[in-house]
């Protein structure tokens, strides 16, 4: 039945507030470098926290939110993006990168976060790089085979993410490279090649999955 009495007005719902969660988890690092603002001025900087999606940068000149910035960072290389906020003594920047670049950056950050645990600066005699193809296999002498992800490589060895922890000194085959386990860390092991190589390109070729 229709009535002249209007229905009681429902109280309006409070507007929902959506909080945008970070897409990547930052790790604490200490990386030096230089950055360039949109007006092409360059300054030294230090990154204290970083993920494949953003970075907290200590810098003498912060720039403004939305301003483009290009940075050249030790161990990481060239990164670029936009300043999202100014902080005390610096700024936070979003990082613009392809999925492949982000994957490589994640590997570099994993190494930086673990380098003190791995004691890599003292024990790794050669320059370390993140390979283009990070997927490989580890085969034990008894034939057991495991997929692994390479954190970094050098002419003398590699750090790899691995689900098992072979005992120290265990002989293994990484890709086509004979090696032995020389160190354990939280997510994997470090191995030393039986014979040091002369070129990193050769190392990368021999680490590819057969």
Q: Which residues pair with 91 in a beta bridge?
A: 57, 86
Structure tokens at 171: 């002989």
Q: Kindly state whether residue 8 falls inside one of the protein's structural domains.
A: no
- Give yes or no: residues 74 and 125 share one domain: no
**68: buried, middle or exposed (CB in 10 Å: 19+, 13-18, 0-12)?**
middle
Is residue 206's pLDDT more than 50?
Answer: yes
Is residue 144's pLDDT more than 80?
Answer: yes
Cβ atoms of residues 55 and 25 within 8 Å:
no
What number is the average pLDDT over the span 87-106? 90
Q: Kindly state whether residue 104 falls inside one of the protein's structural domains.
A: no
Q: Number of folded domains in the chain?
A: 2
- Give yes or no: residues 46 and 84 share one domain: yes
**CATH code of residue 60:** 2.40.10.220
| Structure-token match 């098992």, residue found | 164
- Give yes or no: residues 203 and 125 share one domain: yes
- Give yes or no: residues 127 and 191 share one domain: yes
Q: Kindly state whether residue 182 falls inside one of the protein's structural domains.
A: yes
Q: What is the DSSP track for 119-139?
A: THHHH--S--B--S--EEEEE
Is residue 167's pLDDT more than 80?
Answer: yes
The CA-CA-CA angle for residues 51, 153, 121, to 5°, reads: 75
Q: Kindly state whether residue 189 falls inside one of the protein's structural domains.
A: yes
Pick 159 or 209 by higher pLDDT. Answer: 159
Q: For strand 68-73 and strand 177-185, is the pairing parallel, antiparallel, or unpaired?
A: unpaired
What number is the average pLDDT over the span 11-31? 57
pTM: 0.48
Sign of the Cα torsion 113, 86, 97, 31 reads: negative
Cβ atoms of residues 197 and 126 within 8 Å:
no
User: How sure is the predictor about 198, in pLDDT bands with cuts at 50, 70 and 90?
Assistant: low
Per-residue pLDDT tens for 63-78? 889 999 999 887 788 8
**pLDDT value of position 202:** 75
Residue 191 lies in domain? 120-207
Q: Kindly state whether residue 13 falls inside one of the protein's structural domains.
A: no
Average pLDDT, the chain: 79
């Amino acid at each position: 039945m229709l009535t002249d009495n209007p229905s009681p007005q429902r109280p309006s719902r409070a507007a929902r507030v959506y909080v945008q969660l970070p897409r990547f988890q930052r790790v604490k690092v200490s990386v030096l470098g230089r950055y360039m603002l949109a007006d092409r001025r360059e300054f030294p900087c230090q990154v204290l926290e970083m993920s494949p999606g953003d970075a907290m940068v200590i810098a003498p000149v912060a720039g403004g939110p939305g301003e483009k910035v290009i940075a050249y960072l030790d161990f990481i290389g060239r990164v670029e993006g936009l300043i999202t906020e100014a902080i005390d003594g610096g700024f936070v920047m979003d990082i613009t990168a392809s999925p492949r670049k982000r994957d490589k950056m994640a590997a570099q950050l994993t190494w930086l976060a673990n380098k003190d645990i791995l004691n890599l600066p003292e024990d790794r005699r050669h320059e370390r790089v993140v390979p283009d193809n990070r997927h490989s296999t580890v085969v034990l002498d008894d034939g057991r085979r495991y997929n692994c992800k390479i954190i970094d490589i050098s002419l003398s060895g590699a750090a790899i993410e691995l689900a098992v922890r072979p005992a120290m000194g265990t002989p293994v085959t990484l890709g086509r490279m004979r090696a032995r386990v020389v160190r354990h860390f939280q997510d994997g092991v470090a191995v030393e090649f039986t014979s040091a190589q002369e070129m990193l390109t050769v190392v990368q070729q021999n680490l590819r999955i057969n």
